[in-house]
Amino acid sequence: IAGIVLGLAVILGLVKVGERLFLAPFYFNATTEFKTPGLADGLVQQGFDLIDEENDKFLVSGYMKNGDASRVYVLDEKGKVLVHTELKDGDNDYLGHCGGITHDGEYVYISNDDNDAMSLDVFKLSDILDGGDAKKQGSVYVYQKPAFCYVIDGKLYTGNFHREET
C-alpha cells in the first residue's frame, strides 16, 4: 500500500511539474496587480472595472458566500480598498449574483445571474463611491441574459458564456 501511495504521489508531482512547464509562457508573462479584496469576508469576486484612468480607481463586484448583501469594492491603483458598498434592492439586501460590472457616467451596470430577466441592474456611481449602501435604481433590458458587460464610446455591450444543453 505504501508503494502505491508513493507511486501516486510521484505521478501527481510529475503532472504538476508538467503543467507548469506546459503553461510556462503564461506564467512568464503573467503579473500580479493586487490581491482580490474581501476574500476574508467571504466575497466571491465576479466583476472588475476601471472607473478612473487618471487616478487608477477600480470597481470590484461580487456576492457573499454567506448570503449577505452583494458588494462593490472601490480600489486605488495599488489595490488598497478605499470603500466597500453593500447593495440594496429597495429596503432589502441585494442578494443577486452580482456578476460583471461596468459604468458609464453616473451609472454602474451589474449583471445578475440569479434571475431569468435579460437585464442589467443599475446603481448610482456616486452611491458606490461614498461607501455604505447603494440602492438599485432600476434595470436596463438587453438582448440576452448577461454574464458580463462593458461600455466603449458610450455604448453598452453585454455577453454571456456558452453553456451546452444537457
Q: Could you report the per-residue pLDDT of 37-66, keeping only the tens digit for each?
A: 998 999 999 999 998 777 788 999 999 999
The reported pTM is 0.79
Mean pLDDT for 122-140 is 93
What are the angstrom distances between the C-alpha of 25 and each of 34, 35, 97?
A: 21, 22, 33
CA 88 remoteness from chain centre: 17
Q: What is the DSSP letter of 5?
A: H
Q: Residue 62 corresponds to which cell in the numbers above?
A: 461580487
Indicate if the pLDDT at residue 73 is higher than 80.
yes
Mean pLDDT for 12-38 is 83
Q: Which residue has the higher pLDDT, 17 or 62?
A: 62
Rounded distance between C-alpha atoms, residue 125 and residue 105, angstroms: 8
Annotate 3-13 with b (16+ C-beta within 10 A) or e (fewer): eeeeeeeeeee
Radius of gyration of the chain (CA): 20
Indicate if the pLDDT at residue 106 is higher than 80.
yes
